[in-house]
């Protein structure tokens, strides 16, 4: 059951991403030869009027294959014949659709469940926030100089502070009765949550459409920024690459979230799954914009080069670069999958 739920979640996220590429190709009159979900051997396919729609063995990605993507093709509807701004839009639309999916999901969660605002609802008397004078009703506007609009951002910036600055005070700027106040709070380790906290919790929003739109935009923005920050920390060596989760880890995480929610009731399980779906969607969108060969970000770099220089990069060299990148991505997939399995068999090591 967990595997089925995970496959449905991943398929939806990938389908939305590839549909972004696909729809721009269609609107630009570019001939799409194949729309595939997954990689590897073909499980089944359906031939449309001009596009083959296929499902492949490994549901860990997908692709849209327009005619003339990596080579010069003398056909009026080949991608290489399309204007460069249309190709740039085609590349960008995949990640953008992932962000749109995340916004829609968060909008639904905000509308039906509510969300944590940046207004403090409760201050715990034994915790650092209370001791420095932070009060219920204070609206948090900045943490360590970072603007805050919803509670997701509060959680993110607090986690970043704990990771990078250890026992240094956190600057909390609040709005109280129209006046701004700054407090310096040193997070305290809480054995119950096994994390450092300052002892505040949010006021929950009213459930209405406008609030849900507000929440979905800023919560998705916070997660995009969190994903970018995470990639930077990994590349800089400040966070271990062993913490990167692969497909096996994602399946496990989705299964755990679903089980934890369904133990309470069906709605809780569904909400947990939706929350993870939007998180995976944001991560997929951001990671695809990294300028690494075979990813959307790499193609974007080549198209921007063409737009600036006025001529395309050598097609054969570009195709070779993408092929090498794809091989490296497969190698990375093997490594993170091995790491996922090791973490399941030997957790905590």
The model's pLDDT over 280-338, given as tens digits with 9 standing for 90+, comes to: 899 899 999 999 888 899 999 999 999 999 998 888 888 888 888 888 877 877 776 66
Tell me how far CA of residue 54 lies from CA of 6, 33, 39, 304, in angstroms: 19, 11, 10, 30
Q: What is the mean pLDDT of residues 111-139?
A: 93
Higher pLDDT, 171 or 195: 171
Query: At 36, is the pLDDT very low, low, confident or very high (cuts 50, 70, 90)?
Result: very high
Candidate from 73-87, 219-233, 240-254 with smallest mean pLDDT:
240-254
222 and 211 Cβ atoms separated by less than 8 Å: no
What ranges do the domains of the chain cover? 116-204
Looking at residue 256, its pLDDT comes to 66
pLDDT exceeding 70 applies to what percent of the chain?
87
Can you say whether the dihedral through the CA atoms of 268, 273, 278, 283 is positive or negative? positive
Residue 299's pLDDT is 92
The Cα–Cα gap between 70 and 79 comes to: 9
**pTM to 2 decimal places:** 0.85
The predicted model gives 238-250 an average pLDDT of 59
How many angstroms separate the Cα of 278 from the Cα of each of 10, 67, 81, 142, 254?
10, 31, 35, 25, 12
Range 163-188 average pLDDT? 91
CB 171 within 8 A of CB 143: yes
Q: Which fold has domain 116-204?
A: Pdz3 Domain (2.30.42)
Torsion of CA 254, 257, 258, 261, to 10 degrees: -170
Which residues does the annotation mark as catalytic? Answer: 18
């Amino acid at each position: 059951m967990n595997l089925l739920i995970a496959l449905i979640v991943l398929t939806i996220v990938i389908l939305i991403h590839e549909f972004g590429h696909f729809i721009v190709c269609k609107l630009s009159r570019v001939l799409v030869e194949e729309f595939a979900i997954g990689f590897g051997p073909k499980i089944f396919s359906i031939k449309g009027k001009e596009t083959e729609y296929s499902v492949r063995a490994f549901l860990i990605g997908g692709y849209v294959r327009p005619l003339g993507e990596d080579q010069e093709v003398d056909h009026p509807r080949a991608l290489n014949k399309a204007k460069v701004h249309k190709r740039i839009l085609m590349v960008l639309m995949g990640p953008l659709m992932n962000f749109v999916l995340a916004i829609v999901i968060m909008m639904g969660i905000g509308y039906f469940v509510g969300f944590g605002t940046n207004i403090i609802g409760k201050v715990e008397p034994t915790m650092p926030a209370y001791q420095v004078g932070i009060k219920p009703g204070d609206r948090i506007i900045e943490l360590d100089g970072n603007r805050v609009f919803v509670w997701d951002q509060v959680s993110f910036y607090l986690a970043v502070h704990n990771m990078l600055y250890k026992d240094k005070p956190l600057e909390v700027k609040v709005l109280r009765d129209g006046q701004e106040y700054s407090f310096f709070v040193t997070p305290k380790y809480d054995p119950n949550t096994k994390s450092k906290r300052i002892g505040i919790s949010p006021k929950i929003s009213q459930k209405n459409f406008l609030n849900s739109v507000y929440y979905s935009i800023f919560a998705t923005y916070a997660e995009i920024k969190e994903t970018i920050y995470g990639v930077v920390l990994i590349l800089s060596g400040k966070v271990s690459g062993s913490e990167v989760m692969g497909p096996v880890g994602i399946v496990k995480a989705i299964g755990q979230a679903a089980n934890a929610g369904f133990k309470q009731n069906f709605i809780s399980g569904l909400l947990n799954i939706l929350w993870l779906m939007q998180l995976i969607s944001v991560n997929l969108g951001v990671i695809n914009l990294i300028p690494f060969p075979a990813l959307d970000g790499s193609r974007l770099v080549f198209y921007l080069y063409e737009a600036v220089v006025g001529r395309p990069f050598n097609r054969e060299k570009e195709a070779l670069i993408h092929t090498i990148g794809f091989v490296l991505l497969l190698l990375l997939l093997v490594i993170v999958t091995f790491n996922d399995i090791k973490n399941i068999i030997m957790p905590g090591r």
